[in-house]
Structures are given as structure tokens and as C-alpha cells.
Structure 1
Amino acid sequence: MKTEQKQSKKAGERRIQEKKRQKRSRLYTKIFYGFYALTVIALFVGFLYASRVVSDYVKAYEASQPKYAASAAAQPFYAHDYDVLSRHTDQDIFQYESRAEYEAYMEKQLAGKFISYNEVFTTDEDLKKYVVKADDQKIGDFTLRHSADHEKYGFWLWTLDSMNVEGPEASVYTVDAPSGATVLVDGKALGEEDIVVRDIPEFDLGVTLPEDAVQPSRCVYEFRRYFGVSDISVTDVHGEPCEVSVSGRRYTAAYNYDDSRLAEALEERVIRVVRRLSCYMTNDYSQYSMDKDLVKDSQAYKYVHGFDSDWIASHRSYDFLNMDVRNYVSYSEDCFSAEARYDYKITYYYSDPEIYPTAYRLFFRKTGDEWKLFDFTLI
């Protein structure tokens, strides 16, 4: 009995000791892992600090080496970064050209090309200059400047000082157009500020017009473009399109005659007067009757009165062949001119018929309700 009690007591003591041991084990485990965690955290913090120190040092070192700064400066060329490149291109380009046109141009300069940069000589020891090339074609340059010494490590610091991107050179274009016309270059109208020459006479008339009459004139526009011109159109003061011809970078808009506005109302009068004038010159129309179609004391009046019609031989008849009246020009509401071309056939009594090709520009002025001739020239 006593033996059993002793054994039971010893078993109870062992259980108590085991429980104490387990408690100590759990405590030591917690202490170990806590210390381990603190150690890991401390190492991690130390690593971060060391990394930052090393990173700062490396950055300062790299900034002190021109090759690293040069590589960073050249990246926009390698990456086709047009946001950066456009800021370092002559901004005058963007007054005339779109960003899309600029990017398309630069893409042609860079795409598929070997981009390189090389240092070139400069006398400034605080400055380094580099030329950037696409294959063998220069496309830009940049400079690095020794800006300061690193305050912590004492390294020289090199920073980007300037960058220049080679853009296309502007080409100068001219448009010779009738005064008052609307000139559109790729859909954009040129303005008064683009006119470099004004009041060029449209015609060498050789005639003195009435005071209120205005001789048609021309002007020359000049403008610049970097990426060429696709389309130039010209519309005259009446809204009619002008025919445009081109030679190199010079465009010329033809003058639109006023036939569509004047011919229907005035052609009959022009033909009547020119027939009478020709008949007068061959003694087939009287001076008295001719005077009714002339402005008194005008150049036409003086010419008719001084004309010697004795040149013509006796003839049986006359005829007007191939009469063509065109190229009307309006100088004012009361003044216009037109060209008359025709073949004047004379049938003589004693010789073969003759045909006289004739062409006049006839100038008319409105007197009262009637258009009268005040001058004419051979053409």
C-alpha cells in the first residue's frame, strides 16, 4: 500500500516538473523568436539604410561621370520622345506646321537609323558638348555643364545645360495673285501681313483711264513652310476660282476676265461699234455717224478724225468673219474694255478679195445711257 502511494506521489511530481519544463520551453521559444524577429527587423532596417546610402553614393558618383549624364541626355533621341525633342526644336516651326507633321518628319529622321553621340571639342573646361547623329546625319546636340560639387561626397556634378534638335530649314514660297483674291495654303488663308509686293498693274494698257476707273492689279504673297505645300487655291473677289500654275516654289494665279458678268449685256454693243469702226476706215461708214459712238475729244475721237482712209481701193463689199469678243475687264461701273478679234474681208472691183486679220482692245465709257468708245489699241 505504501509502495503504491510513493509511486503515485512520484508520478504527480513528474507531471508537475513536466508542466514547468513545458512552460519554460514555451517562454524560451517566445524569447527566441522575438529576438529573431527583432534581429531580422534590425537587419532589414540596416539594409535599407545601407542601400539608401549606397544608392545616394552611386547616384552622386554617376552624376559626377559625364558618360552617365550624356547617356541620360541622349535618351529622348533613342526613345523617339517627341514631347522632349519638340521642346528643343526651333519653335518657329510650330507657327506654320502641326505637331503631327513634326512627328512624322522626325520619325523619318530616326526610324531604322543607328543613333549615336560623340563628344566634340570645347574650350570651356566646365562644359562638355556632344553631337547626336542618326547614321551619319547630324540630328542634334546637347551640352553638359559642371554645375557644382556634391556637398556630401565632393564629386563634380554634370547636368544637362542645353539641347538642340535639328529641324528642317524653312522654304520660302510666293503666290502672285490678283489683288483682293483669297489665297488658301493647305486650307489656311494668307493675310495682308503676308503681302510683300502690292499694286502691280495687271495689264500694260497704254491707255489713260477715267479718274474713277481702277486698273486691275496684282500682289505677291510670301510665306514659309518647313514640310512643303500640298495645295494652294486662289479665289478672286467675285468668288470665282483662279487657275493656278506653279514653277518651283512660285505659284501664279491667273486673272479671271469679266466675261461671265459682262458679255451677255455688252457683246452686241461691242460688235456694233467695232464693225462701224472698221467700216469707217474703209470708207463704208460716215464720220458723222461714227462720232455718235465716240466720247467727244477722247483719244478714239481724235484718232478717227485724223485717220486717212485714202489707203483703201474701190471695193464691191466687205464682210466680218470669225468675230470673237472676249476678255472683258471692268474698271468701274461706268468703264470697261473688251478684246475683239475677227477677219475683215474686202472684195475689190479690180483685184482678188483680201482678208485682214484684225484685233483690238476697245475701251468704253458710259455716257448717259449709252456705252461709247473712248480709246482702242491694236493687239
Structure 2
Amino acid sequence: MLGLLVTLLALPFAVLSLVLAIGALVSFAITLRVNATYPPAGPFVAVTGGRLATIQDGPADGPPIVLLHGASANASDPMEGIGRRLAARGFHVIAFDRPGFGWSDRIAGAEAAAPAVQARLIAEALANMGIGPAIVFGHSWAGSLALALALDHRERVSALVLAAPVAMPMPDRVADLPWYWRLVVQPPVAWLLSRTIGPPLAQQFLPEAARRVFTPQPENPDYPKAARATLVLRPGTLLANVQDLLGLTKALAAQAPSYGEIRIPTLVIAGEADPIVRSAEQAVPLARTIADARLVLLPGIGHMLQYVASDRVTEEIATLSDELAHAATAAPAGH
């Protein structure tokens, strides 16, 4: 892929224009096909500036749990991994397409790359739905989002489940990228590429990306269809994904100093063999930072623990819910 980008940048302007035009036509065709294959799978919720898409399951009067997906994904990812299991156990499960992903609007544009902005929109959606406080599950990138919800919208969160979370500050490596990558991630260039050659390129690399995130476990052959993985190929979602990934370093530096203020039950669960978000750099120090957080490390498990360790994750969430119910019953009247 690196060689291809360098080759494209070296093309004469007329040839490059033709390549981009062909890419735009192919991208349009990909978008039509993906939209037809995976239409909205659940109700929309109106919020200021647009609407957020959800997938819901389980009894409406069950204990609520909110599922938030990571990068390059959508609401189907956690819903098909653990959401259906939780619904079968009586939970009211609400999985959101994060802003700009799946069928949710990219409200606030590039500013929506900040977890705090996405948290504001999801908190508004939950308020409009009459949901909360709820257990909030955040996988990978959405670990930072779940934490932002707990910090800024405490009334919506009863407990946190942070799965393979990205939450702790990390180096900004954009400056270390080759010059052509630094050019590609500039906003005008990223916008152009996401609407031309981005979708067909991403389509070619999607199978390899799916294999990598499941390592060291084998990829679940049902995952691409169950998780509606190709929804990420559409231009708007590709751009949102790039913005979210590039903006996370700055956002984590801003919100991480406040983690010690969190005073709600928190489960941090991660795979010890995760090559994507290394537990020693993220889950372990995060659990030390949050008062009374419980850390669960799964030996031999990689990044997609909601699939490859779905039974264990479901049991841990059910146990946490039981503890919340017991605490509520034991609390003195008026508290």
C-alpha cells in the first residue's frame, strides 16, 4: 500500500486526475452495494444536529447496557459478539453506531473525533430514550468514549466495562510518518482520497485487517457478515475513522488526568496476547488509575475478546450487574 501511494503521488497531474475520477466511480458503486446489503438494522434516535443509529435487543424493562464499538466498526460488532447473549439473559441491550459510523450522522464533523463530543451526543440520545444510568461497555477506541461518558455525564452511567480499552496517553507518532503519509492525513487530502481511491483500496485490505485484529486467534469466518464490516468502506465512514484515530492522542492527553475522579464500579478486561492494544500499556495502568477498578486479564486472548472470549465477557458483565442490583437493594432508604 505504501508503494502504491508513492506511485500515485508521482503520476503526472492528468493521469492522477483520471485515476481519482475512476476511483470516485468505483467508490460510488461500493457505497451503493454496501448500503443495499446492510440497511439500518434498528431505530434511530434524534439528537441535536442529526440522529444516531442503534441496534437494540432484550426486554425493554431489563437492566440497560450500552455497547460502544471501536475503530473501523459499527454497532453490529459488539451486538453480535456479546449483545445477543446479554439480551438472552434479560438485559436491555442498546448498541450505538458511533457518530459517522454505520448509519449515524457525523454530527459536528471533524470535531466529533473527540471522545467528549461523541459522549455528549450519546448522553443526549440516552436522555431522549429515557435510559440511564446504564452499564456502559466500550471496546478498544470506545474505551476512551465510555470513560468520557462517565466523566462528563455521570447520571447516564451506573458502571463501566472497558474491553481492550485505549485510554492512557500515548506518543503522537504522526511526525514520525513518511512524508507521503503526512500528506495523506492532511484534512483536504484525506477528504479527497476518502471519496476517490480510499474505498477500493480499503476493500482490498479489509480481509487482512480482519485477520490481524483476531490474532492470535483465527478469524471468525462469520465475522465480516455478522459485523457488517464493509460499512466502513463508505467515504464518510472512512474519513470519520481517520479523524478519530488521528485525534485520539490529543484527546487522551486531555481526559486521562481526570480518571482518578471516577467513583463507579469499573471492570477493565483485556487479552494478555492482544497485539493491537497491548494490555501492559493500556488496561493494566488504567485499572491502577481508577479507584477500586477490577482488572481481568485473559491468557492467550487477543483484541477481539467480545468474540473469542464472549462467554467469559458476558459472565463478567452479568456478575457486575448482579453486584449493582445487590448494592441498590442494600442501600439505606433515601440513598
* TM-score normalised to structure 2 length: 0.20
Q: Which structure shows the higher strand fraction?
A: 1
Which structure has the larger Rg? 1
Task: Identify which of structures 1 and 2 has the higher relative contact order when contacts are C-alpha pairs closer than 8 Å and 6+ apart.
Answer: 2
